[in-house]
Amino acid sequence: MKTVGLITEYNPFHNGHAYHIEKAKMLTGADRVIVVMSGDFVQRGAPAVMPKHLRAESALLSGASLILELPVCFATGSAEYFAQGSISLLNRLGCIDSICFGSECGDLHLLKEIAQILADEPIEYQTALRQALKDGASFPAARQKALNIYSDKYSEILALPNNILGIEYLKALAKLHSKMEPFTIKRIGAGYHDMDIDGQFSSATAIRSDIYQLADVNSSSESLPLTHIQTQVPSSCHELMKKNYQTRYPVKADDFSLLLKAKLLSETAGSLSHYLDMSPELANRILRLRNDYLSFEQFCDLLKTKELTRSRISRSFIHVLLGITNDWLTAMKAPAPYARILGFRRDHADLLGILKRTSDIPLITSPARAVLADTAYQMLELDIYASDLYESVITDLYGTPFHNELTKQIIKI
C-alpha cells in the first residue's frame, strides 16, 4: 500500500481540490491520501471561511483518507514556516511515500533549481538580495529581484503563490533529508487571485468572495444563494455547505475587528514588536494610525506600504489576536511535535493502526486526554485557544450554542 501526503487549507474545498486528490493518487500510485490541513486560521493571515471540521468533512467526502490539523503557529506563519511545519509533520508519520503539491508552473525540475539556490544562498544571491532590500523593496520583491541574476524565468516563477509554497516544500524536504518523493501538479482553471466565478475550476478566492457577498445581502438562513457556486464544488460538499450556511459560516476577518481593536489599544510599540511578523516599523505605524482604525481589513489596507506587504500585516494581526510572539520561533524551527486527527474515512481506518506503528510523534484523537511534553503541550493549548476564539465569533454571528474545542468529535465518514 502506498500513501501520498497533501498539504492544504481547503478554504473552502472546491473542484480543484478534488482534482488534486485524484490526480495525486494517479501520479504517485497511492492507495491512501493523508492530508495536513490548516485549522481555523490560514496562512494568508485570516480566519478560514468555515470551521476546520466542516472543511475536513468536505475533503473526506471527496476522497481524502485522513485529515490532520497543522498546528496554528505553523498554519499562520510565513511560507517557510508553513512548509517546514507541514513537511516535518508528514515526514514524522513514517508511512508517507510521497507528497504532491499544486504549482502554477508544473515543472518540478525548475522548482528544485530555485529551491537549491534559496537553500544554499550563494554570495552573489545574498549581495543582490541585500541591495534590493536596501533600495526599499519588500522581502518577496527583493528575493525575486535577486534571482534575476540567474534567470528571468526564476523571478517569474517566484511571483506566483503556489510556486512559492512548492519551493518551500522542496527546501524543507532537503533540510530533513526526507525519503518522501515530491511530485507537482500544474494548477488548472483560474489563477490564485482570480475573482470571477467561471467554468468549473474557479479559485478559492473567488468562491470565498462570492460567499461573503451573498451573506451580506441575504440575512436569512436560506441556502438558495449557494446555487451560484454549485458548479464549483463537489455535490456532496455543496450539500454540506447548504446545511451549515449562516449557522456555522461564513466567517471573515472583519468579524474579528473589535477583538483586534481591543488588543491593539492595550499595546505599546515595544510590546507589539514582540509578536511574530511584527517589525518595529510596523508597530510604530500601527500606533501612529491607530485612531483611524475602522476594521481588520480596512486597517490592513491603511498600513500597507511598499516595504510592508498586506499579507505580512494581516499575519501579524492574527499573531496579536492569538498571542503568538517571537518566543514561538524556537518551536517553529523544530519538527512538528504531534499529529492531531480531525477525521478519517472508515474504509481507510487501517491507516490508524499503521500510524501507531510508524509514527515517531503522538497521534491525538482527543485533545482533552493528550499527554505531551511542555513545548508540544503549549502548542496544542494554542490550537485549542485559537479554535475557541473562532467558535466564539461564530456564536456571536449566528446565535448558535458555543462548542468548546475539547468537546468536538472526530469526523468519521
Per-residue pLDDT of the chain (413 residues; tens, 9 = 90+): 899 999 999 999 999 999 999 999 999 999 999 999 999 999 999 999 999 999 999 999 999 999 999 999 999 999 999 999 999 999 999 999 999 999 999 999 999 999 999 999 999 999 999 999 988 888 888 998 899 888 878 888 988 999 999 999 999 999 999 999 999 999 886 555 565 666 788 889 999 999 998 777 655 444 455 888 899 999 999 999 999 999 999 999 999 999 999 999 999 999 999 999 999 999 999 999 999 999 999 999 999 998 899 999 999 999 999 999 999 999 999 999 999 999 999 999 999 999 999 999 999 999 999 999 999 999 999 999 999 999 999 999 999 999 999 999 999 99
Tell me: is residue 19 an annotated ligand-binding position: yes
Cβ burial, residue 278 (10 Å; 0-12/13-18/19+): buried
Which segments within 72-214 are labelled E, that is strand? 98-103, 181-186
Determine how many CB atoms are found less than 10 A away from the CB of residue 147: 22
Can you name the CATH fold of 3-104+187-251+335-412? Rossmann fold (3.40.50)
Residues of the chain with CATH 3.40.50: 3-104+187-251+335-412
3-class secondary structure per residue, 362-389: CEECCHHHCCCCHHHHHHHHHHHHHHHH
Q: What share of the chain is helix, strand, coil (3-state, %, to 5)?
A: 55, 10, 30
Tell me: is residue 130 an annotated ligand-binding position: no
| pLDDT given at position 193 | 56
Tell me: is residue 162 an annotated ligand-binding position: yes
| pLDDT given at position 306 | 86
Q: Determine the Cα angle at 190 with ends 87 and 113, to 5°.
A: 40
| Mode of pairing for the β-strands spanning 32-38 and 411-412 | unpaired
Determine how many CB atoms are found less than 10 A away from the CB of residue 148: 15
Q: How far apart are CA 74 and CA 39, in angstroms?
A: 10
Task: Yes or no: say if 48 and 11 are a contact pair by the CB < 8 Å rule.
Answer: yes
Secondary element (H or E) of residue 70: strand 66-70
Tell me: is residue 187 an annotated ligand-binding position: yes
Tell me: is residue 11 an annotated ligand-binding position: yes
Backbone conformation region of residue 171, classed left if phi is above 0, alpha if psi is from -120 to 50, else beta: alpha
Tell me: is residue 201 an annotated ligand-binding position: no
Q: Determine the Cα angle at 412 with ends 408 and 413, to 5°.
A: 140
| pLDDT given at position 218 | 56
**Global confidence as pTM:** 0.94
Q: How far apart are CA 54 and CA 277, in angstroms?
A: 29
Tell me: is residue 125 an annotated ligand-binding position: no
Cell of 155: 523571478
Q: How far apart are CA 5 and CA 99, in angstroms?
A: 5
Q: How far is CA 192 from CA 80, 187, 208, 343, in A?
A: 19, 9, 12, 27
Tell me: is residue 21 an annotated ligand-binding position: no
Determine how many CB atoms are found less than 10 A away from the CB of residue 329: 14
Tell me: is residue 10 an annotated ligand-binding position: yes
